[in-house]
Structure 1
Amino acid sequence: MSEAVRGPETDGRGTTDRVTTDRVTTDRVTTVEGDLPERLLEAFDAYERALADNDQEALADAFEPGHLTLRADGAGLLVGHEAITAFRGRRKSAPARRIEQLHVRVVDPATALIVSVNAPVGGGRGVVTQLWRRTAGDGDVYGVWRIASAQVQAPAPIFDTRIWRVVGAPLVATTVEVSPDDDPDAVRETAPLLGETVAVKDLFAVSGVRVGAGVPAYLEEQSDQEFHAPAVQALLDAGASVLGIAQTDEFAFSIAGRNSAYGTPPNGAVPGAISGGSTSGPASAVALGHASIGLGTDTGGSIRVPASYQGLWGLRTSHGAVRRTDLLPLAPSFDTVGWLTRDADLLARVAAATLSGPAATSSPLQHDVAPSIVLDPGVVASVSADVAAAFRDRLDQLAAVGALRPPESIALGDLAHLYELFRVLQAAEAWRSHGEWITAHPGALAPDVEARFAFGRSIDPDREAQARNELAVQRDHLDRMLDGRILLLPSASSAAPSLSATPAEFDALRSRTLGLTCIAGIGGYPAVSAPLLRVPGGPVGLCLVGPRGSDLALVGVAAGLAAAASA
């Protein structure tokens, strides 16, 4: 690899340098304030070459070792050399770019700030700010220059295709018409969601748009929808607008958020971690501030898990509380509609504007000042140690301020057995929903998703009938346990796992988390995930599961707990 060739540097004045590497020769304007230290620009150019060549070893060596090194971009902050190196390892390559401007501000002979302006070949301009520090050693009289901190500002994409499939401005406007003469109180009464924007999971019908279900081959065969799904129409009639169609895991049969065709939506709370699925796109859109409401579905945890991983509020509604017509199914016995927001107040307004039947008008919850709470000791045993500790600490805090009654300890049953019953029936129904299409399109799905459908295909009618009968017995038991009471548990077994986790690690976390989340699915219960727990790896939701029809009251209880926790 050839050395860079530079013209003379100037103190405080700009010069044009002709810089040559193995890949490109280009002119750049360089300004230097102070006495330029030896080898600083050589180190900068070596870093740019390593980026261009995706040289992982050189990139790792370019950053200072230790836990205080920083790298930030639009997705968030990475802290520590290990986290930065893991991020580099996940990325196949960096976008090709040329450096157009280089501004060096020398702090002292061993410290310098470099701000560079780059031009990616894809267009736009990016800015990178780096703090370089020189350390003695390695037998080099000049020392070794490494990056201590970096801030990367990349050109903004039109939209992130990991999050969005279709975006408008808006894609669908609200049906509410407001004039300047309208009474504001009356407008708030009739249009409680006016001004809110919605990211719609790519399962719901939106008029004039195809449903893709996270599978490009499926999308190609679809026609534009003629009508809005009722869940979409209700939001439009309440004043919200649809910003766009957001990505989902393939056929919504996952809780990871990874899609083999479109990529993994970024986690708005934990850079370098998975987003959680299958309402992955809407969750990321809300967490990153693209939209204020995420409209999704929850079969086994697909609202609650992304809410937990990204520090959001999420509501899985009572089964049947929102009409599911014009909505692509996965497992109809468990599928239900839900929403994600950044605060409890908006979640309550969305639920009130959309729910129908008992869930919208009454509550079977029985409580005066504090709700009646039940816990299952097996739940805490199935989560990671840090989540268990955070869960116990939060409950102790809420009990100390009188927000919770002393919880009752109950046995919900064998959680592993409950999960197995749920897994069998979900897979069998999923195969009935999509098996014919999958059979006609071999290789269209990611291997892990395809394996889940293959399991559904293997379930014979006798096994399904036995599981369904046994599940009915378990559901009756759960109904008795939750009669007028709320079950508290973590929304997920851990914080969001890293994108670099192995398939085996993902599978283990998936099973442990679904062992928690399947309880609401089995009972058709509403469940709220509130961002009230925190562990070293990021946020974790506190989940409240209530009796069927307690949706609005459950959101209110969760909001009260959040207020008590922050008091």
Structure 2
Amino acid sequence: MKAIENWNAFVPGETFLLEGQVKGPLSGLTLSVKDLFDVAGHPTGAGNPDWLASHAVPDRHAPLVQTLLDAGACIVGKTITEEFAYSLVGENMHYGTPVNPHNPDCIPGGSSSGAAVSAAAGLCDFAVGTDTAGSVRLPASFCGLWGFRPSHGALSSQGVVPLAPSFDVPGWMSKSVDHLLQVGSVVLPPDQKLAAPDRLKLALPEDLWLRVQPGFRSALQASIDRIVPSFQGLSHASLAQDHLQAWQDAFRCVQGHEAWASHGAWIRSHQPRLGPGIKERFEWASTIQDEEANRARASMLKHAEVVHAYLDDAVICMPTVANLAPLKGHASSDEDRTNAMSLLCIASMAGLPQVTMPLAVLDGKALGLSLMGGRHSDRQLLAMAQRIRNMLI
């Protein structure tokens, strides 16, 4: 294995050992923490040196960090994030690009880029990140990891630098689905009353599968065929009825409006150095008027209700991302970005749990398959992922 510094996963100067309780359900496990979470005695930089310099070092842990330490896990450092988590690429102008262990010539994906790399490189047992519009799910897929985005509101976001609070959730990634489940058993609340898994259909919405790159279906088909008997039948019914673009547009508008509400005043007062893409995204967000955002939010809530109804008797099965990891220095096409966001925005706008599973490799690149369940079915969804792993080994 390369030296820790060669992976460029950690914020410079922020590798350390913070030990958890001696005995606990996570004793013996190590984790990294995305540089949006407060860790007492360590600066929270949010991926931007100007933010780091203008904010005091926290004197207490974010509640989620405290819970993990109390459960016995040990923190090994804080990982690089794209600035304010407002990108899915994984590059940071100030701190560089973490190296994707699965495909070193490709981007790791973001914004939880350092988190994904630290887990995939074996530098920790699991990594804690955040997911607003795919920032755990996408890098987990690109780096060949198991990754989990919980239901919105299931975990505390206190002590975490926000981006768009209506969508922000902490999440985690690991090379081991067992570790994914162990963490969930500690931090997640009990599921709400749910249908038994064998009473749920496995849904492969045709309109979602039409958004992905050629070869995805054939690469994943063998795994899907093995999964189907565990469910009450199979469905290919469309989810969005050809309205995925409208769903994405409404989501991006609300996300941008909230991102500017979260950081606009600070950006105007401090004039920070922002990297390419981040700078332009915030400039666009600053132009979104309240009336436009309110209309988009009303539309988005209607779209979310469609998803909730679809999941009454089903679990959605879909590729996590619509494209494979691009090479470094080769930006994704507009079509790839649009298709990726069309898939990723669904769980975000509807506040749903989603688990991504590293079940295939295509053209030498990692390809994740996801399960998305109803709101507050988090523990059930993680258990499904573990059963699928056991079926496929």
TM-score (norm 1): 0.66
Over residues 452-476 of structure 1, what are the superposed CA-to-partner deviations in whole Å (9 max), with x where a residue is unaligned? 1112111111111111111111111
Within the alignment, does 1:263 sit opposite 2:111 as a pair?
Answer: no
On the 8 A contact 1:199/1:294 being kept in 2, the answer is yes
SS in 2 for 1:314: strand
Q: Judging changes above 3 Å, is the alpha-carbon distance between structure 1 residues 363 and 308 closer, same or farther for their aligned structure 2 residues?
A: farther
Within the alignment, does 1:337 sit opposite 2:170 as a pair?
Answer: yes
SS in 2 for 1:385: coil
Report what 2:275 is aligned to: 446
- For structure 1, list consecutive stretches of 5 or more residues without a partner in the other structure: 1-73, 76-155, 179-190
Within the alignment, does 1:525 sit opposite 2:372 as a pair?
Answer: no
Within the alignment, does 1:164 sit opposite 2:164 as a pair?
Answer: no
Counterpart of 2:94, as a letter, is: A
Superposition pairs of residues 206-245 of structure 1, within 5 angstroms: 206-245=39-78
Report what 1:406 is aligned to: 233
- Once the two structures are TM-superposed, the CA of residue 222 in structure 1 deviates from its matched residue by 1.6
- Once the two structures are TM-superposed, the CA of residue 485 in structure 1 deviates from its matched residue by 2.1
Report what 1:466 is aligned to: 295
Over residues 396-416 of structure 1, what are the superposed CA-to-partner deviations in whole Å (9 max), with x where a residue is unaligned? 3433xx334432122221111
Within the alignment, does 1:549 sit opposite 2:376 as a pair?
Answer: yes
On the 8 A contact 2:9/2:113 being kept in 1, the answer is no
Report what 2:188 is aligned to: 355
Over residues 103-161 of structure 1, what are the superposed CA-to-partner deviations in whole Å (9 max), with x where a residue is unaligned? xxxxxxxxxxxxxxxxxxxxxxxxxxxxxxxxxxxxxxxxxxxxxxxxxxxxx466754
Report what 1:193 is aligned to: 26
Structure 2 CA distance for aligned equivalents of residues 273 and 384 of structure 1:
17
Report what 1:561 is aligned to: 388
Structure 1 CA distance for aligned equivalents of residues 87 and 276 of structure 2:
12
Counterpart of 2:176, as a letter, is: D
Q: Judging changes above 3 Å, is the alpha-carbon distance between structure 1 residues 320 and 262 closer, same or farther for their aligned structure 2 residues?
A: same
SS in 2 for 1:447: coil
- Once the two structures are TM-superposed, the CA of residue 386 in structure 1 deviates from its matched residue by 1.8
Counterpart of 2:19, as a letter, is: A
Structure 1 CA distance for aligned equivalents of residues 245 and 222 of structure 2:
25
Structure 1 runs, 4 residues or longer, greater than 6 Å off: none
Counterpart of 2:196, as a letter, is: Q
Structure 1 CA distance for aligned equivalents of residues 62 and 39 of structure 2:
6
Report what 2:244 is aligned to: 415
Within the alignment, does 1:512 sit opposite 2:339 as a pair?
Answer: yes
- Once the two structures are TM-superposed, the CA of residue 447 in structure 1 deviates from its matched residue by 2.3
Report what 1:90 is aligned to: none
- Once the two structures are TM-superposed, the CA of residue 163 in structure 1 deviates from its matched residue by 3.2
Over residues 82-121 of structure 1, what are the superposed CA-to-partner deviations in whole Å (9 max), with x where a residue is unaligned? xxxxxxxxxxxxxxxxxxxxxxxxxxxxxxxxxxxxxxxx
Identify the match of residue 247 of structure 1 among 80, 83, 89.
Answer: 80
Counterpart of 1:210, as a letter, is: P
Structure 2 CA distance for aligned equivalents of residues 445 and 166 of structure 1:
21
On the 8 A contact 2:322/2:339 being kept in 1, the answer is yes
Structure 2 CA distance for aligned equivalents of residues 273 and 410 of structure 1:
34
On the 8 A contact 1:365/1:550 being kept in 2, the answer is no
TM-score (norm 2): 0.95
Report what 1:455 is aligned to: 284
Q: Judging changes above 3 Å, is the alpha-carbon distance between structure 1 residues 307 and 160 closer, same or farther for their aligned structure 2 residues?
A: closer
Structure 2 CA distance for aligned equivalents of residues 381 and 416 of structure 1:
13
Structure 2 CA distance for aligned equivalents of residues 363 and 245 of structure 1:
36
Counterpart of 1:164, as a letter, is: V
On the 8 A contact 1:403/1:561 being kept in 2, the answer is no
- For structure 2, list consecutive stretches of 5 or more residues without a partner in the other structure: none
Structure with the largest fraction of helix: 2
Superposition pairs of residues 29-40 of structure 1, within 5 angstroms: none
Superposition pairs of residues 114-129 of structure 1, within 5 angstroms: none
Superposition pairs of residues 2-151 of structure 1, within 5 angstroms: none
Counterpart of 1:559, as a letter, is: Q
Counterpart of 2:274, as a letter, is: L
Q: Judging changes above 3 Å, is the alpha-carbon distance between structure 1 residues 177 and 253 closer, same or farther for their aligned structure 2 residues?
A: same
Report what 1:364 is aligned to: 194
Identify the match of residue 22 of structure 2 among 177, 189, 192.
Answer: 177
- Once the two structures are TM-superposed, the CA of residue 528 in structure 1 deviates from its matched residue by 0.3
Over residues 248-307 of structure 1, what are the superposed CA-to-partner deviations in whole Å (9 max), with x where a residue is unaligned? 011100111111111110101112111111111111001001111101111111111011
On the 8 A contact 1:277/1:306 being kept in 2, the answer is yes
Structure 2 CA distance for aligned equivalents of residues 420 and 545 of structure 1:
21
- Once the two structures are TM-superposed, the CA of residue 387 in structure 1 deviates from its matched residue by 1.7
Identify the match of residue 253 of structure 2 among 409, 424, 433.
Answer: 424
Structure with the largest fraction of strand: 1
Structure 2 CA distance for aligned equivalents of residues 158 and 409 of structure 1:
46
Identify the match of residue 497 of structure 1 among 316, 319, 326.
Answer: 326
Counterpart of 1:536, as a letter, is: D
- Once the two structures are TM-superposed, the CA of residue 177 in structure 1 deviates from its matched residue by 3.0
On the 8 A contact 1:255/1:510 being kept in 2, the answer is no
On the 8 A contact 2:144/2:366 being kept in 1, the answer is yes
On the 8 A contact 2:34/2:78 being kept in 1, the answer is yes
On the 8 A contact 1:294/1:341 being kept in 2, the answer is yes
Q: Judging changes above 3 Å, is the alpha-carbon distance between structure 1 residues 162 and 289 closer, same or farther for their aligned structure 2 residues?
A: closer
- Once the two structures are TM-superposed, the CA of residue 484 in structure 1 deviates from its matched residue by 4.0
Counterpart of 1:249, as a letter, is: E
Within the alignment, does 1:275 sit opposite 2:108 as a pair?
Answer: yes
- Once the two structures are TM-superposed, the CA of residue 375 in structure 1 deviates from its matched residue by 2.1
SS in 2 for 1:495: coil
Over residues 318-368 of structure 1, what are the superposed CA-to-partner deviations in whole Å (9 max), with x where a residue is unaligned? 101001111110000000111111111111110110113xxx344524323
SS in 2 for 1:458: coil
Structure 2 CA distance for aligned equivalents of residues 158 and 394 of structure 1:
36
- Once the two structures are TM-superposed, the CA of residue 389 in structure 1 deviates from its matched residue by 2.5
Structure 1 CA distance for aligned equivalents of residues 277 and 100 of structure 2:
21
Q: Judging changes above 3 Å, is the alpha-carbon distance between structure 1 residues 506 and 195 closer, same or farther for their aligned structure 2 residues?
A: farther
Number of aligned residues: 391
Structure 1 CA distance for aligned equivalents of residues 289 and 364 of structure 2:
41
CA RMSD of aligned residues (A): 1.8
Counterpart of 2:197, as a letter, is: H
On the 8 A contact 1:520/1:545 being kept in 2, the answer is yes
